[in-house]
């Protein structure tokens, strides 16, 4: 059985990648997929309100289905959507900045601190847990910092304790540093305990990655410059390269240049990424294939050269034979 479709009538094309997900997709998902394909054919982007109207489903269902296909990589956001989302994010950040106190280190008097602790059981409990997490009894200025995070920034107990655990306990930073970091994170839209947890996980991963590269390239304790940090983030975030392939790039860098150069290693890794190489296994497979091609080419060239040599010798022999007959 075949579909009665004529390509000249404006056939809607669907990506092959969606076929493996059809069993998981519900009716709304399939409707939105066809709608997205139709809009793509028209050179337009998905309009949530229009899709809900055309497909006779709710905007919530449309959004849910879009997330389903976005997550599967079947559809992607257009530039206009990206710009709109970016603008909304910037507006949100600007609104938050306006809501922050003008003096980011707003002071509390000793009486105010006592009053907060007396009338607010949540703050009192936070203060006790914060001191336990840090490992010492806070002085007045340190209590003031916790009060600022709690009262001025309105951060949750989980948020504040997570900051203390990461920066004070692990990295041995003072509470004053913690306050600066908190304001910076809020400016960047990291305003919930969940968002903070994700950010801290990334920082921990990046720090471990930086330590691995530092040890591998023998960089000691020197600080990475901004350009080097940018390279490392690209290796980690964009390329997704782990220690094994970084080590391979390092060894080839030293072999080719006689020194451990981050810039040279970066050029190697960039080349591998552009070729679609993700792991050392991919690299070995690619190089084996390349070696086989080169061997075949070399053998073909040698055989051709031999053929020419034989033909040349035969011609010369025949020539000598003819000359002998003439005599």
Percent of the chain residues topping a pLDDT of 90: 36
- Decide which of 311 and 125 is more confident: 125
| 320: in domain | no
- pLDDT-derived band at 28, boundaries 50, 70, 90: confident
Contact 178, 168 (CB under 8 A): yes
Total domains in the fold of the chain? 3
Q: pLDDT tens across 204-251, in order?
A: 999 999 999 999 999 988 889 999 999 999 999 999 999 999 999 999
Q: What gap in Å lies between CA 319 and CA 313, rounded to an integer?
A: 10
| 36: in domain | yes
| 279: in domain | no
| 258: in domain | yes
Lowest mean pLDDT among 82-91, 127-136, 307-316: 307-316
The single-letter DSSP state of residue 239 is: I
| 140: in domain | yes
Residue that is last in its domain, among 240, 255, 274: 274
When mean pLDDT is compared over 65-74, 282-291, 313-322, the highest value belongs to: 282-291
| 149: in domain | yes
| 169: in domain | yes
- pLDDT-derived band at 97, boundaries 50, 70, 90: very low
| 19: CB partners within 8 A, 6+ apart | none
Q: Is the pLDDT of residue 96 over 90?
A: no
Residue that is last in its domain, among 258, 274, 290: 274
Residue that is last in its domain, among 191, 215, 233: 191
Q: What gap in Å lies between CA 192 and CA 197, rounded to an integer?
A: 9
Quick one: 127 and 168 in the same domain? yes
The domain of 47 spans: 13-77
- pLDDT-derived band at 3, boundaries 50, 70, 90: very low
The 10 Å Cβ neighbour count of residue 264 is 17
């Amino acid at each position: 059985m075949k579909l009665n479709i004529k390509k000249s009538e404006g056939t809607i094309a669907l990506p092959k990648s969606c076929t493996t997900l059809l069993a998981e997709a519900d009716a709304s998902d399939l409707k939105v997929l066809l709608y997205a394909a139709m809009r793509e054919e028209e050179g337009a982007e998905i309009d949530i309100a229009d899709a809900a109207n055309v497909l006779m489903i709710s905007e919530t269902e449309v959004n849910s289905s879009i997330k389903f296909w976005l997550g599967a990589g079947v559809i992607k956001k257009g530039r206009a959507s990206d710009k709109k989302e970016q603008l909304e994010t910037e507006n949100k950040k600007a609104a938050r900045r306006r809501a922050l106190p003008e003096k980011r280190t707003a002071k509390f008097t000793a009486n105010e601190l006592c009053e907060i602790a007396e009338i607010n059981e949540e703050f009192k409990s936070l203060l006790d847990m914060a001191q336990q997490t840090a490992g010492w009894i806070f002085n007045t200025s340190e209590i003031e910092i916790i009060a600022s995070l709690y009262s001025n920034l309105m951060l949750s107990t989980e948020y504040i304790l997570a900051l203390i655990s990461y920066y004070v306990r692990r990295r041995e930073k003072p509470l004053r540093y913690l306050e600066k970091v908190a304001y910076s994170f809020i400016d960047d839209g990291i305003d919930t305990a969940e968002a903070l947890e994700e950010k801290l996980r990334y920082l921990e991963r990046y720090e471990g990655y930086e330590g691995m590269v530092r040890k591998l390239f023998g960089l000691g304790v020197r600080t990475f410059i901004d350009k080097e940090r940018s390279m490392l983030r690209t290796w980690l975030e964009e390329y997704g390269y782990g220690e094994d392939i970084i080590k391979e790039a390092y060894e080839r860098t030293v072999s080719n240049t006689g020194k451990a150069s981050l810039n040279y290693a970066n050029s190697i890794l960039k080349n591998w990424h552009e070729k679609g190489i993700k792991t050392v296994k991919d690299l070995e497979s690619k190089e084996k294939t390349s070696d086989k091609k080169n061997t075949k080419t070399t053998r073909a060239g040698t055989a051709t050269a031999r053929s020419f040599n034989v033909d040349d010798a035969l011609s010369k022999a025949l020539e000598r034979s003819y000359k002998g007959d003439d005599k």
